[in-house]
A and B are shown apart, each in its own frame.
Chain A
Amino acid sequence: MIPKTKLDGNELTVYLSGDIDHHTARKIREVTDALIQEKKPSRLFLNFAAVNFMDSSGIGLIMGRYRMMLLFGGSVRVVSIPENLRRIMELSGLGGLNVLERSGELSESVK
């Protein structure tokens, strides 16, 4: 899966879809990191609206981008999280980093 991306000023949105596992995470990581390095956005939105499945590889993917954006002085927001992925996201401790959009929160990426 090659994710669709959108750059709006200094905000980069990556639209993930399908299954996120150890196999598919590699490509997503490559595409996203190349864009972060090239565009140096101050905000990165990871949009999960079209994701059907994710295992802990998805957590590694979010954590890795979180660290990378910190390095560049930016931040990450995970948005449009399907209900069936909430449990694994919350199990990860990602909630404590304030990167997960809360359930019912109006998506910041929808403008």
Chain B
Amino acid sequence: MSNEMTITFESRSSNEAFARSSVAAFIAQLDPTVGELNDIRTAVSEAVTNCVVHAYKDTIGKITINVRLTDNNSAIIKIKDKGCGIEDIEKAMEPLYTTAPEEERAGLGFAVMQSFSDDVRVRSTPGKGTSITLTKKLRLRVANV
């Protein structure tokens, strides 16, 4: 059964926990394993932190997360901002590359998203914003008869 939800919230660091918990709570209806839910929480946390730290660096803006559950048991999670955008996506995705060392960012945000989900897509326009689409396939469980 397909299903969908959207939340919008301000880019405050205190909302990072709210964002990952909300996405996990919605996806819980697919009966994921504890490990799958932890993977989703981790990937979403990275994407939202990027919005807080980079997209809206010296300002507060809106972050929108849309989650779509598909008939084949996948969760498609889109995290969008209207912040500064990314000049060089390839560079931004390089492990250990960071533009915020003073915040002690490890430069692993995209590496973690890639490792903890099945597919990561990035679309960005400098000055307009960024959208990250994470796809997580949940393994099919045998239905109880």
Q: What residues of chain A have their CB less than 8 Å away from a CB belonging to chain B?
A: 19, 21-23, 25-26, 29, 53-57, 59-61, 63-64, 84, 87-88, 91-92
Inter-chain CA distance A51–B17, complex, in Å, is 14
Given contacts A53-B38, A84-B38, A88-B42, contact A60 B17 (CB under 8 A): no
B60-68, B72-80, B106-114, B118-126: which lies at the A interface? Answer: B106-114
Q: How far is B110's CA from A55's CA once the two chains are assembled, in angstroms? A: 11
In the complex the two chains form, is A59's CB within 8 Å of B41's CB?
no
Chain B interface SS verdict (over half): helix
- Residue among B35, B41, B45, B106 having the largest count of chain A Cβ atoms under 10 Å: B106
Chain A residue numbers with a CB within 8 Å of B116 are: 88
Contact across chains for A21 and B108 when beta carbons are under 8 A apart: no
CB closest chain-B residue, reference A64: B104
Q: Tell me if B22 counts as interface (CB < 8 A to partner A).
A: no
Chain A positions within 8 Å of B35 at CB level:
84
Whether B53 is near chain A, meaning CB under 8 Å from some CB there, is yes
Q: Are A55 and B42 within 8 A (Cβ)?
A: yes
Report the 5 A-B pairs with minimum CB-CB distance, sorted nearest first.
A23-B13, A60-B104, A56-B108, A55-B45, A60-B106
Q: Judging by beta carbons under 8 Å apart, are A56 and B104 in contact?
A: no
Decide if A56 touches B112 in the complex (CB within 8 Å).
Answer: yes
Least distance between A54 CB and chain B CB atoms (Å): 8
